[in-house]
Amino acid sequence: MPIVKVRGKGQLTIPLAFRRELKIGENDAVNMIKAGGVLVLAPRRLPGDTISERFERTMKKRGITLNDLLVELKAQRAKYNPDTNELEKK
């Protein structure tokens, strides 16, 4: 079990192995919970982060690129909003 020292201003360093395992990167936020005499740290995942990670995995699995999405977006705009074509020509 690693020992972590509390430094000035209450700062501490989460060991690298833990950060890697929990995918905690530089400037990531963590939740701290006090449970009796114990402090619990947990990675904070925002809903948007979770959704974007799933979306990215699905895109990779299906071989879809960002350019593919942009081409399809343009096609859908043309289909459902013909006025968009006029704006893009200007």
pLDDT (tens digit per residue) in 54-74: 888 999 999 999 899 899 988
State pLDDT tens for residues 70-90: 999 888 888 888 776 555 555
User: What's the confidence (pLDDT) of residue 90?
Assistant: 52
Q: How many other CB atoms are there within 10 angstroms of residue 32's CB atom?
A: 10
User: What's the confidence (pLDDT) of residue 2?
Assistant: 85
Given a contact cutoff of 8 angstroms between Cβ atoms, the answer to whether 63 and 56 are in contact is no
Cβ contacts of residue 12 below 8 Å, gap of 6+? 4, 5, 6
Tell me: pLDDT of 29 over 90.
no
pTM, rounded to two decimals: 0.49
Given a contact cutoff of 8 angstroms between Cβ atoms, the answer to whether 33 and 39 are in contact is yes
- Nearest one of 32, 56, 62, 34 to 44, comparing CA atoms: 32
Q: What is the mean pLDDT of residues 4-18?
A: 92
